[in-house]
């Protein structure tokens, strides 16, 4: 089973970075898909347009945990503008790939970041959609209602 995952995926699954909650977060986003059971919550602490801290809580398979972890690593310390450029493809590449059936996990990780950024803008009284875009979740890779590991 582990052979279908890269060493980086296994490392981020076994030793996830930035796990937990941020009590003083000023942006929180949650996404999930009932078809596959993966639920991701991202917490952002943004100061002067920079993501000073980020944490996540994920309920899901190993790939969901690994993609959440990698997404936090990729944008921590970055500007909002840089974080908005995060794509699921960048998460997959940073993890040295994912099996096709698990690519949806990287989509959820990207969407969790965008959901947290949308929340940040809402708290500022700004409509996030023109900045962040419309949030969409895609779990078409899930078969029979279970993504399993």
What does the chain look like in DSSP terms, one character per residue? -GGGS-HHHHHHHHS-SSBS--TT-SEEEEEE-TTT--EEEEEEEEETTEEEEEEEEEES-HHHHHHHHHHHHHHTT-BHHHHHT--HHHHHHHTT---GGGHHHHHHHHHHHHHHHHHHHHHTT--SHHHH-------TT-BTTB---
- Told to judge if 105 belongs to the known catalytic residues of this protein, a careful annotator would answer yes
Question: Of these residues, 36, 139, 142, 147, which one is catalytic?
Answer: 36
Other CB atoms closer than 10 Å to residue 61's CB: what's the count?
Answer: 19
Q: Which residue in the list 105, 139, 142, 147 is annotated as catalytic?
A: 105
Return the DSSP state at 15: S
Q: Which residues are catalytic?
A: 36, 105
């Amino acid at each position: 089973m582990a052979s279908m995952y890269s060493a980086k995926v296994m490392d981020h699954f076994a030793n996830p970075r930035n796990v937990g909650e941020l009590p003083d977060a000023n942006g929180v986003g949650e996404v999930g898909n009932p078809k596959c059971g993966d639920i991701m919550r991202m917490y952002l602490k943004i100061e002067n347009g920079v993501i000073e801290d980020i944490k996540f809580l994920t309920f899901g398979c190993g790939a969901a945990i690994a993609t959440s972890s990698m997404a936090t690593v990729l944008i921590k310390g970055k500007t909002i503008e840089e974080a908005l450029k995060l794509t699921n493809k960048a998460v997959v590449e940073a993890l040295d790939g994912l099996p096709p059936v698990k690519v949806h996990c990287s989509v959820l990780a990207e969407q969790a970041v965008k959901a947290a950024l949308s929340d940040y803008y809402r708290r500022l009284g700004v409509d996030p959609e023109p900045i962040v875009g419309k949030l969409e979740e895609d779990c078409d890779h899930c078969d029979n209602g279970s993504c399993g590991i």
